[in-house]
Structures are given as structure tokens and as C-alpha cells.
Structure 1
Amino acid sequence: MKSRRILFVLFLIYFVFAILLNSVGTVILQIINNYGVSKSAASVLEGFKDLPIAVVSFLVASFLPRLGYKRAMLTALAIVTCACLAMPLVPGFLTAKLLFLAVGVSFALVKVSVYSTLGLVATSRRHHAGIMNTLEGFFMLGVLCAYWVFSWFIDSADPRSHSWLNVYWLLAALCAVTFVLLLTTTFDEHLAALPAQRTPAQDFAAMLRLFFKPLVCIFVITAFLYVLIEQSVGTWLPTFNNEILHLPAAMSVQVTSIFAACLAIGRLSAGVVLRRMHWYPVMNACLLGMGAVVLVALPLTRDAVPDPDITWASAPLATFLFPLIGLFMAPIYPGINSVMLSSLPQHQHSAMTGLLVIFSALGGTTGSLVTGYVFGAFSGHFAFYLTLVPITVVLVMLYFFRRAVEGHGAGEAEPSAIIRNTN
């Protein structure tokens, strides 16, 4: 395989889906403004995105190698292209729900396929960790672009304007171009082939058995909690900026790009750090840093007052301080994913990624719904203070994750040692 071309296409696919997936916070803000939908009702968009990811991953991840990773990604791109075209053609809250339903179904196919294809390209455990962090870095670059691209189409002077829907013409074109590039890229997937004697039902049962291994169980719970935190912040930060910091709608979205930029910088640089340091102390330092940002930044938001002439220069300090939590979040998700996936033989990557996607999706939905409810029933301050609870739990879970890895002789040894001892 021409690995550079394959990696470019995979990074581009992830970039496209980053824009679509992480536009949910912006769309929630616009849905509230355009259609008078309540915060708790608008928060279901996260569920329309994440629950299909979980369901589809559960149903198809174990036998995606039989379908073919390239074919699955092409199908996903075709679905989201049509969904993007529907948004400006048939505007409405229902269309937004169907858009994120389509994005969720498609991303389930894409994430399992992309993560599994990385295993075909990677030449070593360190190489796998490097390209995993780069992939997630490109994902966050897509998130960063999403905030700015959407903000260009938002009319802050008229919150009820539907001009923001024109962004979907651009996104549909980007999806179509990515489809063509993938179609013309050659993949060699024979290394991921499942044992010929196994049936799809046996593949599905093998995925379920994988979950009950102690190492895997601890890993997916940790991933669930991490995504809960990230989605709680990422989804509701535009609304927090708008209602608590009193920023204009377009600026609220633009400022959220600082959070995405911090995640991108952190993930692109994490590979360098993790080549020189053990992952466990790095993760602990990151979690402690996240807690410190919450405790320092949120008290500063209570002094914010409405200012019709507010600019970037006159915005409250908390506007720029709280998004820095992304720098500390960044290395955790790709770091633990790489430790887990590079510990498995190639034919189990699809099943393991399926479990990861399921619990990540459930974590994202849970985080958004809980934060949306608390935001509406109590306050944005209290909603974001609650992130300290899962941060603390993840800190504890990482301790057990490390013990599970080292208990199976993983340590710094070859990754194959883990799965040999957990079978």
C-alpha cells in the first residue's frame, strides 16, 4: 500500500467528520435562536448523533473486515453528503435531528474503519502511537475550522436569520471531494481478514467476550468518562459564552475555537512527549491540570456583564482562560487508545474499536444531556463545576488501567504480550 496517500485520505476523512460531529454545539445555539427550542430539548441533538454511533458500532464492528474498510467509508461519505444537502433545502429542527442521525451512523462506520486501517499502516507500537495522535490532531483541526466556518455564516445582528444553513453547501462539496479521493485510493486489507472458518455470529460473540476481559473493561469505562468530559465542555461552551459571558452569538462560536485549537496543539505534540515519557504520569498531570483550570477560570466568569460593544480585546479574562483546559485534555484519549489497540492482534482491532466507539458515544450523549439539564435547571457555572467529578473518577480509573496493563506483563514490553495473557 502507498501508506502516505492512505494516511492523507484517512486524515481528510477524520477532518470532515470532525466538522460535522462537533458542529452540534453551534447548531444547538442556532436551533434555540431560530426555532425557540428549549435547552433541554435542543440537547437531544447530541443523542441523535451519539446513540446511532453506539448502536451501529455494536451491530457491525465485529464483521466490518468482511464488508471492507474502504467500502464502509465510501458508504459513510455518501450518506453525509446527502444529509448536508438536506439541511438548507428542508430547514427545521427535524432535519437537524436527521442530519446528526446520519452523521452518527456514518461516523460509526468511519471510526472503526479508520482505526483498523491504522493498524495496517503502522510498522511498530511507537509508529502507531504517533499516527494515532496525528490523526486525532487532524480531528481537532477540523473542530477548530468548524467553529470559524460556521461563525462566518452566522448573522449576529439577526439571531433568527437562517443564513447559517448555507454552510452545508460547502460541507456537502467537501464530503463529495473526499469521496472521490477515497474511491481512487488503493487499499490492501488482507491482513485484517477474519478467520475464514468463523461466522458473523461468532465474530459478534468474540467482540462481546472481549469486553469482559479486565483490561478491556477498565479501558472502555475510562474512555466513556473522558468523552463525557470533553463533550460536556465542547458542546455547551458556545452557549456558556453567549449566556454567561454575554458574548455575541458569532463571537461565542469563534471563541470556542480556542478550546479546539488547544486540543489540536496538545494532540499533535503529545506524540513527541509520549516518546520520551511514560504515558501514566503524563495522563495524571493532564487530569490535575484540567481540574486546576476549572477551579481558576470559573470563578472569574461571575463578574461578566453585558456589553453591546464587546470585542476580543475587551472580553473577560475567563473567555480565554477556560478553553485552555483543552491543552490538558488533549493527550488522554489518543494515548489510552493507542496503548489498548496496539496491544491487540490486527484482526481484533475492528471489534476493539467497536467497543471503544460504543462507549465513547454513550459518554458523549450522557455528558451533553446531563450538562444541558443542569445548565437549564441550575446554572452554567454549576454545570461546568460538575466536570470535576468525572475528572476525579478518571484519575482513579487510570491507576487501575495501569495496574491491569502491568499485571499482564505489558509495562514497556511488546504489546502482543498483553493479549497473549488476557486470552
Structure 2
Amino acid sequence: MLINKKNKSLNVNLMLSFIVFSMLLNSMSIIILQLSQNAQHTYTGLGILEFFKDIPVALVSIFLVDYIKRKSFYLSLAIALFICAVCSFSIPFLTEFWFLKIWFVLIGISFSIGKICVFSIIKNTTSNEKDFSVTMSRTEAAFMLGIFIVNMEFAIILSSNYQEFWRFGFWLVGFISLWTAIQLIKYHKTQPSEETISNTTSKIDFRVLTDKKVLFFLSLISLIIFAEQIFNSWLPIFYKNSLNSSAFFALQSSAFLAFFSFLGRIITSKAVKRFSPMKIFYTSLISGIILIISAYFLGQENGLGVKILLFIFPLIGFFIAPLYPMLNSKFLANYHERKISRMVSFIILFTSLGGSIGSISTAYIFQKNLANYYLLFASIPLILILILSSFFSIKEKMY
């Protein structure tokens, strides 16, 4: 009973960690929405911010993974959260655009450390593939919950009489970061011996990328994050510019996209106990493609079609969100505990590249006044995933 209580408490802290990372990483849509009103900032210029978040994530995940493995995963995660707290409390006082670049670099580094730690802790504390998949889906669901919270919080702030103080909204993230970091340090002190690994340093083995199964998996993961980034960072801009909604409603669209994504991952975490993860994967993927293409044709109509689109489009999150945790858990469940942090570092590398390319590409579409093709563009990576998975047969390769 005591072990179960400890595991539940630990899972809550892991979920809170992902909520923190999610709120900071996905504040990109809020920052783009606010700064795009300033003539000094172009869409492509704002889209470059994604690189300052994702490229450090990619590099740190590769070169720090051995250092993290030699230390406590709990302690490393706590340090990452402390960095997030410092970033959250400082942003209201440092408003220059150059600081945002540094800010996203620090958040990206923290996230890469945190993700390696969280995935490794989950692997170390689960005994089989289904438990791993369930815990992974719930933790990833918390990530979507963080997007919902941050967008709703800032939507309320920006629609109030205190909208000029919107940067202080990050203090909520700061307090959650501090509290979670303290809890993880306490947990670390109770069982430090379980987390330390020998001081031997392994070389970065890029030969793993020559494995067709690994490369195929990483390519699909990149495309999934490419698709998610199109929505998470740029959906409010699409709502405001193409559907003529207010800033409040634009941020609410992103919030409800995250809310339905959260529901999708929570329901998936329960469904995986009865159905194959890959059946859920294919069902979600095909449903998502159908909904996006349907939304595109609705958007071509005036009046009622656009109004329907305003309300049904966030449902896309319900179908897209399960793709990443389903594919991740199916692949990582077969990895040994000692090797999983290295594979997670490659996952972070490829997802970072996918996210950056997705954001820059979407920025270019809005910069060139091609927003009418936003939905068709968003369907491309999902269609590519379906084509690739049909050719290579994920189910056979992942077993």
C-alpha cells in the first residue's frame, strides 16, 4: 500500500513537471499573438523563436544524457524545474526581444533534461508494456492539460483591464515549478541509491540511426510533432486573421484544442488496456485526417460554415494527441532501462527538428498571406505518416 501511494505521488509530480514544461513551451502561441501586433515583428521573425527553443533541446539531449544518467533523475528534474521558475519570475521585467531568445533557450534546455528524466523514471517504475503505456499516456495528457491552462489563463488576462501586465501570468508557472521541484528533492532523498549509475561515460553512438526500424520510428515521431506544432503555436493566429475572431476567442481555440487533446490521451490511456496501441494509432490518425480536410471545406463557405468551424475545429486535438504517446510507448517499452535515456535523447533531437521546421513553415504561410491553405498544409504530415506506415507496416516492425 505504501509503495502504491508513493507511486501515485510520484506520478502526480511527473504530471506537474510536464504541465510546467507544456505551459512554457506552448506560451509561444501567446507571445506570437501579442508581438505580431507590433509592426517591428514579422511572422517569419517570430517563427525563428522556435529554433531558439528546439535546437538547444536537440543538442542538450544528445550531449548531457550521460551526465544526467550519472546523477539522480529526480534531482536533475528538480534542477530543470528551478530553471523554469527563474525564467517565469524574470520575464515580466526583461521585455526586450533578445531576452526572449535566451528565455526559450533556457526553457528548451530544461525541457530536454526533464523529458529524459521523466521517461527514464517511468521506465524504472513500471513493470510491463501496458503499465508503461498507461503511465506514458497519462503523463503526456498532463502536457496537453498544461496547454489548456496556459491559454485559458492568458485569454482571461488579455480580455481584462490588466492586459498590459500579461507577462505576470507566468508567475503561476513559477510557483508550480518551485513546488514540484521541492517535492522531487524530497523524493530523491528517500531513495538516492536507486538513481545513481556508474560514472562510466559512453560515447554518443549515432550508428543507431542506421537501424531502419529506429530511423523509421524517429521519422514518424518528427512528422507527428511537425503536425502538432502547426496547431499549438499558430492556431490562434489562424483564428484571429482568417476567421476574424477576437484575441480572447483565438486563445480559447488553442485552449480547447489542448483540452480535447487531454481527453484524447486520457481516454487512450484507458483504451490501451483493451485494444492494441497500433489499432488506436491508426484509428486516431485516419479520423484526424478526415476532420482536418472536412474543416478545410467548411472554411471555404461564408457564414454558417465558418461558425461551425470555429467550434468544431478544436476537436482535432482529440484525434492527433494520442499519436505521439502511442507510438512512443510501443517503441520504448522494448528498450532496456539503461538504454532508454539514450533513445529518448534521439527522440528529443528529431522532435525538436520537426517542431522547428513545422513552426517556420507555418510562419512562412502566414507571412505570404496563404492562410487559406493552413488546414491543407496541416494535413500533409498526417497523410505522410499514413502513407509511410502503410508501406513499412508499423505493427510488424515494433514487435
Coarse TM-score class (shorter-chain normalised)? over 0.9
SS at match of 1:205: coil
Q: 1:36 and 1:303, CA in 2 relative to 1: closer, same or farther beyond 3 A?
A: farther
Could you tell me how far apart the structure 2 residues matched to 1:192 and 1:399 are? 40
What's 1:168 paired with? 170
Query: 2-side partners of 1:210 and 1:67: how far apart?
Result: 24
- Counterparts of residues 69-88 of structure 1 (less than 5 Å): 69-88=73-92
Alpha-carbon distance, 1:244 to partner: 0.8
Q: Over aligned residue pairs, what C-alpha RMSD do you find?
A: 2.3
Q: 1:181 maps to which residue?
A: 183
8 Å CA contact 1:244–1:301 kept in 2: the answer is no
1:149-201: CA deviation from partner (whole Å, max 9, x where unpaired): 1112214789xx5321121222222222222222222364756665x4x842x
1:352, distance to aligned residue in structure 2 (A): 0.8
**Partner residue of 1:146?**
150
1:351 aligns with 2:353: no
Is 1:406 matched with 2:358?
no
TM-score (normalised: structure 2)? 0.92
Identical residues among aligned pairs (%): 25
Q: Please point out which of 82, 95, 100 is paired with 1:96.
A: 100
Structure 2 vs 1, CA of residues 346 and 114 (structure 1 numbering), >3 Å: closer, same or farther?
A: same
- Alignment CA distance shift 1:254-1:284 (3 Å): same
**Which deviates more, 183-192 or 27-36?**
183-192
| More divergent stretch after superposition (356-365 vs 276-285) | 276-285
SS at match of 2:127: coil
1:79 partner letter: I
**CA 204–232 in structure 1, closer or farther in 2 if over 3 Å, else same:** farther
How far has the Cα of 1:253 moved from its partner? 0.3
* CA 285–140 in structure 1, closer or farther in 2 if over 3 Å, else same: same
One-letter identity of the residue aligned with 1:213 = D
Instruction: Tell me how far 1:372 sits from its aligned partner.
Output: 0.8
Q: Indicate how the Cα distance of structure 1 residues 154 and 92 shifts in structure 2: closer, same or farther if over 3 A, else same.
A: farther
Deviation readout 1:298-322 (Å, 9 max, x if unpaired)? 23234458xxxxxxx9981111122
Contact 2:36 2:43 in 1 (8 A): yes
Q: Deviations over 1:115-139 (max 9, x none)?
A: 0100111121111011011101111
Conserved 8 A contact 1:192-1:347: no
Cα distance in 1 between the residues matched to 2:345 and 2:231: 24
Give the total of aligned pairs.
394
Q: CA deviation at 1:82?
A: 1.4
Compare 376-385 and 221-230 and name the one that shifted more. 376-385
Q: Take 1:303 and 1:376, find their aligned partners in 2: how far apart are those partners?
A: 23
Structure 1 unaligned segments of length 5 or more: list them.
Answer: 306-312, 412-423
Compute the displacement of 1:242 (Å).
0.6
| Paired position in structure 2 for 1:204 | 203
Distance in 2 between residues matched to 1:325 and 1:156, nearest whole Å? 29
Once residues 338 and 231 of structure 2 are traced to their aligned partners in structure 1, the CA distance between those partners, rounded to angstroms, is 35
Please name the residue that 1:19 is paired with: 23
**Aligned counterparts of 1:402 and 1:224: Cα–Cα separation in 2:** 18
Partner of 1:239: 237
Deviation string 1:365-422 (CA, Å, 9 cap, x unpaired) is 110000110121132221331122211211133345645x635xx64xxxxxxxxxxx
**Residue 270 (str. 1) matches residue 268 (str. 2):** yes
Equivalent-residue separation in structure 2 for 1:210 and 1:63 (angstroms): 20
Q: In 1, distance between residues paired with 2:283 and 2:305? A: 32
Tell me the residue number matched to 2:46: 42
Q: Which sections of structure 2, spanning at least 5 residues, go unmatched? A: none
Which residue among 309, 315, 330 is the counterpart of 1:324? Answer: 315
User: Secondary structure of the equivalent of 1:89?
Assistant: coil
**Alpha-carbon separation, structure 1, partners of 2:393 and 2:192:** 32
Partner of 1:127: 131
- Does 179-188 or 320-329 show the bigger shift? 179-188
Indicate yes or no: 2:140 matched with 1:136: yes
* Cα distance in 2, alignment partners of residues 157 and 329 from structure 1: 36
Q: Mean alpha-carbon deviation: is it higher for 345-354 or for 394-403?
A: 394-403
Q: Distance in 1 between matches of 2:81 and 2:39?
A: 29
Among candidates 290, 294, 297, match of residue 296 of structure 1: 294
Equivalence for 1:381? 372
Q: Following the alignment from structure 2 to structure 1, what is the Cα–Cα distance between the partners of residues 28 and 216?
A: 29
Contact 2:75 2:184 in 1 (8 A): no
Give, in whole Å, the separation in 2 of the partners of 1:204 and 1:32.
Answer: 43
Shift of 1:337: 0.5
Change (3 A) 1:263 1:188: same
On the 8 A contact 1:31/1:93 being kept in 2, the answer is no
CA contact 2:71–2:196 (8 Å) conserved in 1: no
Single out whichever of 273-282 and 229-238 deviates more from structure 2.
Answer: 273-282
Instruction: For 1:98-117, list aligned pairs within 5 A.
Output: 98-117=102-121
For 1:280 and 1:91, the matched residues in 2 are separated by: 45
1:233-290 CA-partner distances (Å, limit 9, x unpaired): 1110000111111111122101221210111000001022222222233222222211
Conserved in 2, the CA contact under 8 Å of 1:35 and 1:93? no
